[in-house]
């Protein structure tokens, strides 16, 4: 039976959607017809992106909150549900990283990455998942990383957190399948974003990265768009607990 990738009438809550991967995914889902809850820690950035999304022809709600703060998550989710009536799609994208040797990592650095990349992902899923459970339907897309699958130098907490996100995806998929909530993950490789800019400014590092990518280029946020739209659409209705790796071939070696 053919399906049409049309997300009209759906609402997508995208964390960290004012820049980088999250921004690209928010635009992609809006282009497919979904209304978007635009989020970051800064209201002015959310409003700016909402202006862009409304220009596509869909509705957008700016909501500033911090994924590290559970109360903040609950307030943000309640605002979105009150405005749109429901949240159909959650994209857990907000993330951070620290570049540091394992022997030099501080507790504060460890906690910052874990609180954002692992704890924040779970509590966003839990809070918004409860609304989905009430309706017996929902799609959750967690943005993990290839470095949750393979190791990488000097970003140990990031690797640990993203590996945790992949396992969280599997466990939630099992627990929530009875509610018709499908939970999947996308694992990007190196994507050209502001978060990676400092690493990529070093010419030697940049060349080393490209040598590990068979496609010989960095990914772009739009390279993830088709996967996100697929996972948000009816086309993925028999898929849950899975991880889609989009890395230009890095992990094929």
Q: Which residue has the tokens 């989905």?
A: 132
Cβ atoms of 132 and 143 within 8 Å: the answer is no
Taking the C-alpha atoms of residue 111 and residue 202, their distance in angstroms, rounded to an integer, is 27
Say if residue 85 is exposed, middle or buried (CB neighbours under 10 Å; 0-12, 13-18, 19+): exposed
Tokens 């509705």 belong to residue: 59
CA distance 103 to 251: 26
In whole angstroms, give the CA distance from residue 144 to residue 244: 10
Six-digit token pair at 158? 């990031």
Q: State the catalytic residues.
A: 158
Distance CA(232)–CA(237), nearest Å, equals 9
Asked if residues 50 and 74 have their Cβ atoms less than 8 Å apart, the reply is no
**Contact between 22 and 225 (Cβ < 8 Å):** no
Q: If you search the block for the tokens 């874990």, which residue do you land on? A: 114
What are the Cα distances from residue 97, in Å, to 75, 102, 116, 126? 26, 13, 9, 23
């Amino acid at each position: 039976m053919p399906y049409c990738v049309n997300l009209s009438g759906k609402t997508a809550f995208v964390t960290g959607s004012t820049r980088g991967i999250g921004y690209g995914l928010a635009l992609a889902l809006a282009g497919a017809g979904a209304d978007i809850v635009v989020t970051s820690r800064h209201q002015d950035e959310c409003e700016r992106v909402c202006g862009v999304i409304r220009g596509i022809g869909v509705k957008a709600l700016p909501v500033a909150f911090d994924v590290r703060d559970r109360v903040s998550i609950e307030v943000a989710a309640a605002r979105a549900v009150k405005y749109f009536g429901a949240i159909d799609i959650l994209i857990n994208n907000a993330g951070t990283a620290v570049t540091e040797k394992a022997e030099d990592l501080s507790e504060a650095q460890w906690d910052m990455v874990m609180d954002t990349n692992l704890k924040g992902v779970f509590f966003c899923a839990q809070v918004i998942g409860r609304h989905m459970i009430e309706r017996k339907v929902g799609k959750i897309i967690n943005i993990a990383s290839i470095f949750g699958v393979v190791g990488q130098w000097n970003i140990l907490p990031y690797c640990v957190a993203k590996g945790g996100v992949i396992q969280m995806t599997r466990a939630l998929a099992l627990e929530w399948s009875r509610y018709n909530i499908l939970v999947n993950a996308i694992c990007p490789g190196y994507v050209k974003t502001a978060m990676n800019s400092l690493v990529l400014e070093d010419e030697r590092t940049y060349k080393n990265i490209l040598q590990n990518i068979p496609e010989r280029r960095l990914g772009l946020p739009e390279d993830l768009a088709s996967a996100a739209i697929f996972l948000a659409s009816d086309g993925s209705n028999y898929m849950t607990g899975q991880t889609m790796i989009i890395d230009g071939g890095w992990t094929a070696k």
